[in-house]
């Protein structure tokens, strides 16, 4: 066995062991402090890259869920208005039938129909969301523009001016001031609401179909966000119980390593006994 004073190999090895233990302890303590097991790219390059991609995807999906809520509000506003229009068209039809009774005052009934027509005209011209006219502009023409929402997958468009909503009839023109509200009693009592009512029902059916599509997209995105969140948690979140054990173990190991380093650092002094 050789004795060396210039190089204390044992102390050097003890120092390296102490440095390693301290590094492991600090890593465990940092994870406890941040509750994350990946605090830098160096901790897990692959996990970090995958996790960040999933985070970006999740943020996008959450934004798409918000878009779905906006699209639903858009449809719900139009649906509520069209349901009112449909109800009033039914009332007009009922009053026209009632006017066939010779004991009824047909002139008064015609006035009632004009009032209902005026309400329909007002509903169509004043139904808007965030300043956007949905069913007709204030001058009575059909809706001027469509709305497109990013709800995941292909874009989702709503266009109440399109044929799939209102058919060939411009409701505000058919019902409004140019027709029922200013027509003669005979015209009012004989006005055929069949085409207009069919257009309204078609629009309501189209809204129902779009709402079903949005419900399906919402269900998918909600599940996707939940799954991504679970995966991100598995990648980044620290196991607090395990890290606490590692930190405690490291602290004890560091105390032992420090004591051994102290002893091994003073070991060369034993050589002095040879010179006495």
List, for residues 243-263, the tens digit of each pLDDT value.
Answer: 788 888 888 888 887 888 787
Does the residue 19 lie in any domain?
Answer: no
Does the residue 54 lie in any domain?
Answer: no
Query: What span, in angstroms and rounded, lies between the C-alpha atoms of 187 and 19?
Result: 98
Q: Is the pTM of this model over 0.75?
A: no
Query: What span, in angstroms and rounded, lies between the C-alpha atoms of 138 and 125?
Result: 5
Does the residue 11 lie in any domain?
Answer: no
Q: How many domains does the chain have?
A: 1
Does the residue 131 lie in any domain?
Answer: yes
Instruction: Return contacts of 75-79, CB within 8 angstroms, 24+ apart.
Output: 75/158, 75/207, 75/210, 75/211, 75/214, 77/127, 77/128, 77/129, 77/134, 78/127, 78/134, 78/135, 78/160, 78/203, 78/207, 79/204, 79/207, 79/208, 79/211
Does the residue 274 lie in any domain?
Answer: no
List, for residues 175-190, the tens digit of each pLDDT value.
Answer: 554 466 767 888 888 8
Predicted pLDDT of residue 276: 61
Q: Which domain holds residue 151?
A: 62-234
**Can you spell out the DSSP letters for 154-185?**
S-EEE-TTSHHHHTT--HHHHHSTTTGGGS-H
Q: Please give the chain's pLDDT, 276 residues, in tens.
A: 455 666 678 778 888 888 888 888 888 888 888 888 888 888 889 988 999 999 999 999 999 999 999 999 989 998 999 899 999 999 999 999 999 888 899 999 999 998 998 888 888 888 888 877 777 766 655 554 578 888 987 778 887 766 555 533 455 555 554 466 767 888 888 888 888 888 888 888 888 999 999 999 999 999 999 999 999 988 888 878 887 888 888 888 888 878 887 877 776 676 666 666
SS3 state of residue 132: strand
Does the residue 193 lie in any domain?
Answer: yes
CATH number of domain containing 187: 1.20.1330
Predicted pLDDT of residue 22: 85
Does the residue 103 lie in any domain?
Answer: yes
Does the residue 87 lie in any domain?
Answer: yes
């Amino acid at each position: 066995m050789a004795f060396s004073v210039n190089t204390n190999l044992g102390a050097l090895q003890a120092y390296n062991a102490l440095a390693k233990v301290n590094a492991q302890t600090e890593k465990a303590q940092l994870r406890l402090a941040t509750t994350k097991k990946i605090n830098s790219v160096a901790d897990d390059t692959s996990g970090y890259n995958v996790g960040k991609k999933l985070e970006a995807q999740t943020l996008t999906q959450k934004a798409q869920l918000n878009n779905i809520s906006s699209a639903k509000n858009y449809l719900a506003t139009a649906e509520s208005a069209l349901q009112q229009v449909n109800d009033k068209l039914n009332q007009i039809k009922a009053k026209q039938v009632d006017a066939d009774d010779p004991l009824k005052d047909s002139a008064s009934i015609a006035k009632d129909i004009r009032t209902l027509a005026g309400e329909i005209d007002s509903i169509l011209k004043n139904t808007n969301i965030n300043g956007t006219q949905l069913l007709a502009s204030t001058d009575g023409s059909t809706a001027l523009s469509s709305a497109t929402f990013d709800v995941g997958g292909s874009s989702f468009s709503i266009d109440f001016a399109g044929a799939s909503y209102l058919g060939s009839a411009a409701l505000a023109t058919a019902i409004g001031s140019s027709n029922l509200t200013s027509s003669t009693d005979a015209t009012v009592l004989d006005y055929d609401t069949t085409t207009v009512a069919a257009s309204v029902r078609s629009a309501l059916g189209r809204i129902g179909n779009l709402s079903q599509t949005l419900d399906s997209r919402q269900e998918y995105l909600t599940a996707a966000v939940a799954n991504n969140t679970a995966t991100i948690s598995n990648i980044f979140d620290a196991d607090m119980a395990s890290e606490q054990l590692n930190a405690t173990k490291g602290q004890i190991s560091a105390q032992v390593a420090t004591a051994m380093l102290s002893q091994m650092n003073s070991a060369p002094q034993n050589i002095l006994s040879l010179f006495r």
